[in-house]
Amino acid sequence: MQTEFFAVCRHRLSIDGEGVTTLVALFGCPLHCKYCINKKFLEDKRLSRLITPQKLLDEVMINNIYFLATHGGITFGGGEPMLHSDFIAEFCKIKPKEWNICVETSLNVPKNHFTTLLPYINEYIVDIKDMNSDIYKSYTGKNNRQVKDNLQYLIDNNLTDRITVRLPISLNLIPITT
């Protein structure tokens, strides 16, 4: 199994999961946020490369000692990492069991991806954007029904204490055009 990713960022602390983390940015996103800072990487496949779960493990193993000492681990971001749920599940089967696994997700993907990863994810950082459907659509180009469904799914599975909800804040707000 292979998947596309565009970056690995090491030695992150307290910004995307418990302890010291390595961010693995996976390719592709179903949304088109007006304020996206990763557009270039998400749309140009030439900037991504293919990797297997074992190869990724080999790359991130260098920080094993930090993960063990701080209860840290891997944060999958992107893009939308949940689109790569099968790949993440395979990675989780071979990683050291002490590593914390976090996903940064918009939740705007089919529920089956969350079902696949339910046994493996320790933390969900949810980029909820806005609960108002009209505002959400004006910024992302999509409606947020699936977001609400998936958030309820995680809550129904008693994962409330593993979810951090984040909101984008900007001092230079982009005007809403309808």
* Smallest separation, CB 97 to ligand SF4 (Å): 30
Stretch touching ligand SF4 by CB under 6 A, among 8-16, 36-44, 88-96, 143-151: 36-44
Q: Left, alpha or beta for 60 (phi > 0: left; psi -120 to 50: alpha)?
A: alpha
Pick between residue 34 and residue 49 the one whose CB is nearest to ligand SF4: 34
Which of 18, 38, 68, 86 touches ligand SF4 by CB under 6 A?
A: 38
Nearer to ligand SF4, 32 or 93 (CB): 32
| H helices, E strands: number in the chain | 7, 7
Could you tell me if 84 and 53 are in contact, meaning their C-beta atoms sit under 8 angstroms apart?
no
Q: Computed over its alpha carbons, how large is the radius of gyration of the chain?
A: 16
What residues between 58 and 97 interact with ligand SF4 by CB under 6 A?
78-80
- Bond before 141 cis per omega within 30 degrees: no
Nearest distance in Å: CB 79, ligand SF4: 5
Among positions 20, 23, 26, 33, the unique one binding ligand SF4 when judged by CB under 6 A: 33
| 71 vs 111, beta carbon nearer ligand SF4 | 111
Interface residue with ligand SF4 among 3, 48, 106, 150 (CB under 6 A) is: 106
Q: Tokens 């900007």 appear where? A: 170
Number of residues lying near ligand SF4 (CB under 6 A): 11
22 binds ligand SF4 (CB under 6 A): no
Residue 123 in 3-state DSSP? strand
State phi, psi for 12 to the nearest 5 degrees.
Answer: -90, 140
Tell me which of 20, 24, 31, 74 binds ligand SF4, using CB under 6 A.
Answer: 31
The angle that helices 85-94 and 53-60 make with each other, rounded to 10 degrees, is 60
CA distances from residue 144 to 28, 56, 154 in whole angstroms, order as listed: 18, 32, 16
CB of 67 to ligand SF4, least distance (A): 25
**d(C-alpha 87, C-alpha 85), whole Å:** 5
- In the complex, which residues of this chain contact ligand SF4 (CB under 6 A)? 29, 31-33, 36, 38, 42, 78-80, 106
